[in-house]
Amino acid sequence: MRFERREDVSLPALILAPLIAVLAALVLCAGLIAMAGVSPWLAYGEMLRGAFGSRLAVTETFTRASPLILTGLAAAVAFRARLWNIGGEGQFYMGALAAAALGHSALAGWPLPLAWAALAAAGMAAGAVLLLVPAVLRLRFGVDEVVTTLLLNFIVLLIVGLMVEGVLKDPMAFGWPQSVPVAAGLRLPDLVPRSRLHVGIVLAVVVVLLVWLVQARTVFGAETRAAGLNPRAAAFAGVPITATLVKVALLSGGLAGLAGAIEVLGPVGYVTTTMSPGFGYAGIVVAMLAALHPLGVVAASVFVATVFVGADAMSRATGVPSFIADVIMAVALLAMLVALLFTTWRVRR
């Protein structure tokens, strides 16, 4: 048996791959659920009901999906250029901190659209700077960015802890470790009344479309693709590799930072050390399931959000631990990697 490279990756294969991967993950995890003594049909049924069974459930799922769209997009943009940004979680928190610090009082009296733009820009800048450091280390000294971005996540979480216990501590929070809140007037409006779903998801989708346009149509998109696929040939042809990768790092970090800022301005209102249930890490799964395509990111985010929101409901109804959500994610990621292999290679006897 040997692997042969396919002549071309077909579009149907690229769309089918994540579907098959997700199906494989659900089938494999059905075994685990059965071992926990619950019928998988029942468990998955409860999961779907928990994610889409009521108005509240639907809004919760999409509320969960909106930061995932941005962190997923952040990972997809970076991975396309072979910049392995595993630090979405840290960049998310930096964006969140920047938005909370600035949104508490500094922007009082600014016109609302301008204030929002400033807060989004601050969040993006904070995330971008956090990725800029590992990117420059890699380009200058060849330091592996997988290691640096991953480790920065833990450092950032400690910084967040320092902030919410220190200078940004909310004195009105009865000693809870949370930051000062964003001024009430600056919170993003709800999309659906009496729910947590806010305009952030619309923003996220608009950003997806913008990134898609940039990647598919612009000189920057073309040069990024060339640099990611064959950096030597791109450099030979005059693509400034270092500058291109720095721009990609700024974009990727900025997107993850924006996710954090929107989460603070939208449903949460302040920063805690537990505000992200792993949005940054799940973004990596989202990017892979999307085969790094911006539009795929939206669909993959909704799937991941469904599993996480649905798993809580399933857990309450059936007693299967909600950790199963993490297992499904992990298995889906592995299955997707295998499926991607088969979109570019075929087995030959």
Binding site for other proteins (CB under 8 A): 2, 7-8, 217-223, 225-226, 229-230, 232-240, 348-349
Residue 186 gets which letter from DSSP?
Answer: G
Return the number of the residue (274 or 344) whose C-beta is nearest other proteins: 344
Q: Minimal distance in Å, beta carbon 141 to other proteins?
A: 15
Return the number of the residue (229 or 337) whose C-beta is nearest other proteins: 229
Q: Minimal distance in Å, beta carbon 232 to other proteins?
A: 5
Q: Minimal distance in Å, beta carbon 12 to other proteins?
A: 17
Lookup: tokens for 145: 């960015």
Return the number of the residue (174 or 236) whose C-beta is nearest other proteins: 236
Instruction: Compute the distance between CA of residue 234 and CA of residue 221 in angstroms, rounded to an integer.
Output: 13
Helix (H, G, I), strand (E, B) or coil at 19: helix
Return the number of the residue (59 or 215) whose C-beta is nearest other proteins: 215
Return the number of the residue (7 or 189) whose C-beta is nearest other proteins: 7
Q: Minimal distance in Å, beta carbon 213 to other proteins?
A: 9
Please, which residues bridge with residue 3 across strands?
A: 347
Task: Assess contact for 260 and 95: CB atoms under 8 A.
Answer: yes
Return the number of the residue (140 or 232) whose C-beta is nearest other proteins: 232
Return the number of the residue (194 or 348) whose C-beta is nearest other proteins: 348
Q: Minimal distance in Å, beta carbon 212 to other proteins?
A: 13
| C-alpha distances out from residue 118 to 39, 107, 111, 122, Å | 50, 9, 11, 6
The helix-helix angle for 279-289 and 294-318 (nearest 10°) equals: 120
Q: Minimal distance in Å, beta carbon 238 to other proteins?
A: 4
Lookup: tokens for 115: 């204030």
- Torsion angle defined by CA atoms of residues 38, 320, 308 and 147, in that order, rounded to the nearest 10 degrees: -120
Tell me the residue type at 235: A
* Other residues' Cβ atoms within 10 Å of the Cβ of residue 276: 24
First-to-last alpha carbon distance for the chain, in angstroms, is 5
DSSP string, 42-108: HHHHHHHHHHHSSHHHHHHHHHHHHHHHHHHHHHHHHHHTT-----HHHHHHHHHHHHHHHHHTTTT
Q: Minimal distance in Å, beta carbon 251 to other proteins?
A: 14
Return the number of the residue (169 or 225) whose C-beta is nearest other proteins: 225
Lookup: tokens for 221: 């998109």
Task: Assess contact for 302 and 22: CB atoms under 8 A.
Answer: no
Q: Minimal distance in Å, beta carbon 223 to other proteins?
A: 7
